[in-house]
Amino acid sequence: MNSLKTKLANLSEMIMFQHSIFSLPFIFIAMLVASDGWFGWKLFFLGILAAISARNFAMGVNRYLDRDIDALNPRTKNRPSVDGRVSNSTMVGFIVINALIFVMVAYFINELALKFSIPILMILGAYTLFKRFSSLAHIILGISLGLAPIAGVVAVSGEITIWSLYLALGVMFWVAGFDLLYSLQDIEFDKANNLHSIPSKFGAKNTMHIAKVFHILTIIFWTLFIVGAGLTFFAQLAIILSAIMLAYEHYLVNKDFTKIDRAFFTVNGYLGIMFFILIVLDRLAA
């Protein structure tokens, strides 16, 4: 029993399971708006399964393919995927199982979700490869999480709406922006190992500017989302608070690079939760 608990703990540490909080709120935001309220327990549990299995798959692929790079980086050399706590065969099995779960969940949701399941998995797996040849890796990560609200609206209505695209684009630029800030930690490592990232190519100062532009676009697209979806006061408040939180995130990183973890995990985690709660209140008040 202790051995199983240890293995599960190592897997959780490897994929940083707690960071599922970034995508989950936006799946349910899309589902709430698409259904104009509660969408039912079936879709609630299927949505959770889809989000978790998709992220597990993506992180499993990332850790498996990046184990050679991670072994060289002082920041990542103690990851379970590198130090032997999680074997290569376990990682491959983990990837396959989560891919199968994701496809199975899509099957039980609807036909369109099933058709999209394999292409979505391909996009989720592409992020790891991109940084080996392109600085667009940050955008690919953003697209990966931006698929969450699109998946949510497809699950409820079986179609893709304009407002869901606005929400997804906002998520894409939000994630790409905070990934730029996070990647500042590895700027020298990326340069030394010929890895393609915006910080290693354009420098820290320019990266900060690009991240600010991305987060301005985030607020613009989320504003278009609430207008397109016909949301009101609480949704508008979510936009205002999101802008304040993103500004605070940039303040933290600009002031001291050692605050990157706090900016990345704490601020962005609370942002997603706050956004979700205010959309719930907006629907309740409608």
Q: What is the pLDDT of residues 58-88, one digit of tens each?
A: 889 988 888 888 888 888 888 888 888 888 8
Q: Cβ–Cβ contacts within 10 Å for residue 51, how many?
A: 24
> What confidence score (pLDDT) does residue 224 get?
98
Backbone angles phi, psi at 205, to 5 degrees: -65, -45
In a domain, 68, yes or no: yes
Please name the helix (run of DSSP H) or strand (run of DSSP E) that holds residue 189, with its range, or none: helix 187-192
Distances in Å between the Cα of 262 and the Cα atoms of 18, 21, 56, 229 are 14, 15, 23, 32
Are 137 and 127 contacting, i.e. CB atoms less than 8 angstroms apart? yes
Number of domains in the chain: 1
Work out the angle between the directed axes of helices 41-65 and 137-157 (0-180°, nearest 10). 160
**Confidence class for position 277, pLDDT limits 50, 70, 90:** very high
The rounded mean pLDDT for the chain is 87
- Percent share of the chain, pLDDT over 90: 45
Q: Are 128 and 66 in contact (CB under 8 A)?
A: yes
The CA R_g of the chain, rounded to the nearest whole Å, is 19
With respect to residue 49, please indicate whether it lies within any of the assigned structural domains: yes
The reported pTM is 0.89
Residue 221: inside a domain? yes
Is the CB of residue 17 less than 8 Å from the CB of residue 48? no
For residue 282, give both structure tokens: 């907006």
- CATH code of the domain covering residue 39: 1.10.357.140
On the question of pLDDT at 278 being above 90, the answer is: yes
Rounded Cα gap, residues 227 and 221, in angstroms: 10
Q: Tell me, yes or no, whether 38 lies in a domain.
A: yes
- Written as one string, the DSSP assignment of 1-45 is -HHHHHHHHHHHHHHTGGGGGGTHHHHHHHHHHHHTS---HHHHH
Whether 18 shows a pLDDT value over 80: the answer reads: no
Contacts of 165 (CB under 8 A, 6+ apart): 150
In a domain, 203, yes or no: yes
pLDDT band for position 183 (50/70/90)?
confident
CB-based contacts of 271, cutoff 8 Å, min separation 6: 174, 241, 242, 245, 246
Q: Which residue has the tokens 């955008």?
A: 139
Contact of 283 with 33, CB cutoff 8 Å: yes
User: Is residue 53 in some structural domain?
Assistant: yes
Residue 159 lies in a domain: yes
Q: Is residue 11 part of a domain?
A: no
> Percentage of residues in the chain with pLDDT exceeding 70?
91
What domain range is 25 assigned to? 20-285
Placement of tokens 């929400």 in the chain: 167
List the structure tokens of 171: 């998520």
